Structure 1
């Protein structure tokens, strides 16, 4: 089984990257790939609660993150320093994540067979 790590680096709703990354994660997991998600930099903004993308003319795909468990995507990591930078360090996030340091991120990326950055 191939280990795939998908990295969310860009903010949600400004580009299709976030939706495409999520679609790829769910599709890959449905083909029994070992999929891990990693949220870094502006990508942690996908984890903010109570987003209203419709007001900016974007589709709301953030709720789809709730389906990760159904696809057996269990490794969901978020960069501690990125969360802190956006004031998300102590707030409630939309999904359960493991808060990790840069060392943990390096280990995750080295353990993956493929890394895709969105």
Structure 2
């Protein structure tokens, strides 16, 4: 099986894209499919701990993201540049930080990329 990368690039409050990506990731892991997760652009805002979830259902998404490493996600990575641009120093998830130059090589390691 070719590994799949789920790339979160949208802000958490921007509709159902984030939830769809999380559901895809959990479904892949349920069938023991190799999975990586990447947070870029506004998607890094999912990593801010202690957010007020409001009525958008963000609390469920954040709980689901925290479950990914426990269910076997092989890699959890965030763009270091995107985190810096948004002033995010603390993340609520165990993610590796990659600089822009290394992100391309990381993405090439996956057979399929799903952007949400």
Taking only aligned residues, the RMSD between alpha carbons, in angstroms, comes to: 1.1
How many pairs were matched up? 114
1:108 Cα deviation (Å)? 1.6
1:63 Cα deviation (Å)? 1.9
List alignment gaps of at least 5 residues for structure 2: none
Partner of 1:84, secondary structure, is helix
Residue 115 of structure 1: which of 75, 92, 113 is its match? Answer: 113
Determine if the alignment matches structure 1 residue 31 to structure 2 residue 35: no
Determine if the alignment matches structure 1 residue 105 to structure 2 residue 113: no
Once the two structures are superposed, what CA deviation does each residue of 1:26-67 show, in whole Å capped at 9, x if it has no partner?
11011111100000000000000111122xx21122122121
Q: Is the 8 A contact 1:68 1:74 kept in 2?
A: no
Runs of 4 or more above 6 Å deviation: none
What CA distance in whole angstroms lies between the structure 2 residues aligned with 1:29 and 1:13?
A: 24
List alignment gaps of at least 5 residues for structure 1: none
How does the TM-score come out when normalised to structure 1? 0.91
1:69 Cα deviation (Å)? 2.4
